[in-house]
Chains A and B, each alone.
Chain A
Amino acid sequence: MNKTVLIIGVVIVAVIVFVLFGGLGKDPQHIDSPLIGKPAPPFALKAVGTGQTIDLESLRGKPVIVNFWATWCVPCYEEHPTLVANARNLPNVQFVGVVFNDTEDKILRFLAERGAAYPTLIDANGKTAIAYGVGGVPETYFINPAGKIVAKFEGPLSTELLEENLAKAMK
C-alpha cells in the first residue's frame, strides 16, 4: 500500500467534497450587500406622474423602504399588491419605488392598472441602482430613521418578509 498516495488522495477528496457540499442549496445569483450598516447613498429623483422631485435625505426620521423594480419584470407583478397594501397600512413608513431601464408611459400604465400608494421614481441611467448594488429586480432596501441601510432583500417580498426586515429598521 502506498501511504503517500492514500493521504494525498484522501485530502483532495475531503476538500472537494467539503467545498461542493457547502455550496449546495446556495443561490449563486445572490449578492451580499456591503452597504448594510452604512449610510444609504443619497439621491433625489423625479417621480413619475407628478414630476415632483423626492430627496431621500428629506425622509430622515422614519424608516424608508426603497424598492427597485421594472415593468418588464415578472416577479415585480406578484410583489406589487403586497407593497401597495403595506404602504397603506403603515403610514409611519415611507415607501419609495425606483424604476430603471423603463419608459415613463409603461410605468404609468402599470400603476394605473395595479394601483399606487407611494411615489415611483425614475432612475434614468441606472446610477442609483448601481450605487445601491442592485443585482436584479425586484430588490428592496430597508433604511432606518437615521438613514442607514439595515437590510437588503432580493426577489418578491411577502408581507411576512417585509415585516421581518422592517423590524430591523424600527430598532
Chain B
Amino acid sequence: MTPILGRFIILASVLVATTGAFIAYAAGAKRSPEGLRWSQRFAYAFAALMIAATGVMEYALITHDFSVQYVAHVGSTQVPLWVTIVSLWSSLEGSILFWGFILGIYIAVTTWINRNDHQEYMPYAIGTWLSCGAFFSFLIAGPANPFLTVANPPLDGPGPNPLLQNHLLMIIHPPMLYLGYVGMTIPFGFAIAALLRGRLGQSFLRPLRASLLLPWVFLTIAIMLGGWWAYEVLGWGGYWAWDPVENASLLPWLTATAALHSAIVMERRGVLKGWTVTLIQASFLLTILGTFMTRSGVFNSVHSFTQSSIGPTILIFLAAVLLFSVALLSFRIDSLEAEGQLDSAVSREGMFLVNNLFFVVLTFTVLIGTCFPLVVEAVKGKQMSVGRPYFDAMVVPIGTALLFLLGVGPALPWGRASRKEMQRALLPPFITGAVVLVIGYVLGVRNPWTLITLLFGGYAAHVTLAQMWLPLRQRMKRGDSFGPALIDTQLRRGRRRFGGYVVHAGAVIVFVAIAVSSTMRTQQEVTLTRGQSTTFAGYTVTFTGTEERAEPNRQSTIAHFNISKDGKPVTTMEPRMNQYATMREPIGTPAVHSTITRDYYISIMNLQGDQAGVLIINMPMVGWIWFAVLMMGVGGLIALIPMRRRTYVVVPERAPEIDSEVVA
C-alpha cells in the first residue's frame, strides 16, 4: 500500500511541476496576472506533493516496511531511531527524494514571500523552478525510484552504510548541504527571469541577493561540518582531502561568493549585471555537476554513493541547462549591461573586479584539477591522478592573494582616491600585520606561506575591525550615546554592512587557522603496551587498557588513555574501533581533546591483545576553523534577516514597501 501511495504522489508531482512550468512561462510571456496566480498555486501544490512523498517514505522507514525497496535496502530494526529517520538521505534514491523535498519547500516559501512583488519576473522564476522540480520528480519517478516494491520482503534489512551511522553529524551535515545545494536553484530562477525579461531592475536586486545569500550561508556551514565530520571520524587528523566530492561542494560556494561580491558593485554602480547573472547561473550548474560527480560513479571518492544508473540522466539535464543558459545569456547579456561607470580602477570597485578574478580562477583550478584525470583518460587513454599536493600548491597562492584583497579592498575608498587618502587608508594596518607576524615568528612559525598569511591576516583583521565600527564611531563623534548608536549602526540600518564584515572577520580567522593548523601540525606513530607511557607535544599519554562494549548495531573496542601534563592528570581519551556486522574491517573513531590553542588527537591504528598502535597528532588552532566558519554563517544571516524599520511602531496595515527596500 505505502509504495503505491508513494509512487502515485510522485507521478502527480511530475504532472504538477510540468504543467505548472508551462503555465508559468506562458503567464510570463503574456504578462498575465491570472496566469501568475495559477503558477503560484502549482508551486504550492508541487511543494505539498514533495512533502507528502517524503512523509510517506519516512513513515515506511519508521514502521520498517520492508516491502518498500528503499527501506529493504537501508532500513534495519537493529539501528537506533535517529539512524532510521536519517536513512532518508543515506542512500541514492532517498537522497534524491530529499532533494525534491527541500526544493519544494524553497519554491513554495520564495513564491509566498514574493507573492505580491516583482510580478514581471516571478512567472519566469516560478517556471524555471518548476522545470527543475519536474526534472527531479522525474528522477524520483523513474531512474531513482525509492518506492519500488520488493516481491518477497525480507524480515530485516542491513541498515545504512556503517560509515554514516558512525557519527551524529549525519543528522545535520547532509540537510545543511542540501539546503545549500538545492537553494542555488532559487537565485538561478531569478537570474533566468531577469535574462528572459532582458532587464535587471534595482528593486529586483534585493530578492536576487537574498536568495543567493541564504544558500550561501547553508553551504558555508555544510562545508565546515563536512570537514569537521571527516576530522572526527576518518582518523588521520585532516579535514579536507581535495576529494572530488569535497571539491564539488566547494565549487558552487566559490562562484556564489564571487556573485555576492559582484552584486555589490552592480547595486552601487549599475555595472557587472551580466557578469553577476553568469556567476549565479554557474553556481547552480555547479551544484548539478556536483550531483553528477557524487552519483555517477565516474569519480573516485570516499563520499560517493554506490554506482548507479542515474549518471547519464543527470548529465543530460546538465547539458540541457548549460546550453539553455549559454544561449539565453548570449542573447540577452547586452540588454542588461552597463548603465554606470567606474571613476577609477584603483578603488574599492576595482578591488571587487580583482576579487572576482581570483574567485573564478580558483573555481577553474579546482574544477580542472578534479576533472583533469577524466580529460587525459578521454584524450590519451592514460591514467593519472590529481590530488592534494597539486591543490595545495595551486590554491595556497591564490588563497593568499584573496586574503591580501580581503585586507586592501575594504580599506580603499569607493570612487576615486587621492594619493594621500590611499596612504592614510593602507599604511596603518601594516603595523598590525607586522605585529601578528612577529608574534607568530616568536611562537615558532617558520613556514614562509604561514608567515605571509599572518602578515596579511593581521592587516585584514585591522581593516575589518576598523570598518566594522566606523559608522558607530561617527555617530558617537556626533554626540549620540553608545547604546542606541550601536544597535542602530550594527543591527538596524547598517546591518547588511555589519554582517558583511562579520563574515570577513570569520574568513580572516579561517585563513590563519588553516595555515597554522596545517603547517604547525606534528604527529607520531607509537605502539604502547598496557601501562606504558609516551610523551609527545607536552602531554604524557598512558595506555591503561581496553574495554569491549556491545551495542545493537555494532561491537566496539574502546582503548583508554590517561593524558597528563607535568605529572598532573589532564583528561582521559577513548578512541575506539567499531565492528559493524555488515562491514568486514572495523572502523575507528579517534578521540580528540580540544583546547583553545590546540587539539590533541589520538587515533587507533591497530589493537592486538595488550598492545595498541596509535597515531598521536598535535594540531594547533584547528578548533578555530569550525568557530570562524560558524561566524561567517552568522554574519551572512545578520546581513540577510529582513528587519523592518518600523517594527516598534504600530502600523495599521502593511508598512510602506519603500522602507523594507531601503533597509534590506
Contact = CB atoms under 8 A, between A and B. Distances in A.
Q: Do chains A and B touch in the complex (CB under 8 A)?
A: yes
Interface string B324-346: 01110111011000000000000
Contacts of B396: none
A100 to B, nearest CB: 14
B371 A10 contact: no
Contact of A20 (B298, B325, B383): B298
Interface stretch (B11-19, B155-163, B372-380, B447-455): B372-380
B378 A19 contact: yes
B298 A13 contact: no
A32 B330 contact: no
B383 A17 contact: no
A72 interface: yes
Contacts of B289: 16
B334 A22 contact: no
B371 A19 contact: yes
Interface string B492-505: 00000000000000
Contacts of B585: 72
A17 B378 CA distance: 12
Interface in A15-60: 16-24, 26, 28-29, 31-32
Contacts of A18: 378
Nearest to B292: A20
Interface residues of A, number: 25
Of B298, B311, B312, B375, most A-chain CB atoms within 10 Å? B298
A9 interface: yes
User: What secondary structure prevails in chain B residues at the interface with A?
Assistant: helix
A74 interface: yes
A28 B292 CA distance: 14
Contacts of B326: 5-6, 9-10, 12-13
Given A19-B371, A24-B298, A32 B323 contact: no
Contacts, number: 78
A5 B277 CA distance: 13
A166 B311 CA distance: 35
Contact of B331 (A1, A28, A32): A1
Nearest to A72: B584
A140 to B, nearest CB: 19
B333 A2 contact: yes
Given A13-B319, A17-B315, A32-B382, A23 B298 contact: yes
A22 B31 CA distance: 43
A20 B329 contact: no
A3 interface: yes
5 contacts: A1-B334, A6-B326, A13-B323, A16-B319, A20-B318
Interface of A: 1-3, 5-6, 9-10, 12-13, 16-24, 26, 28-29, 31-32, 72, 74
Given A16-B319, A19-B374, A21-B315, 8 more contacts: A1-B331, A9-B330, A12-B326, A17-B319, A20-B296, A20-B298, A29-B300, A32-B382
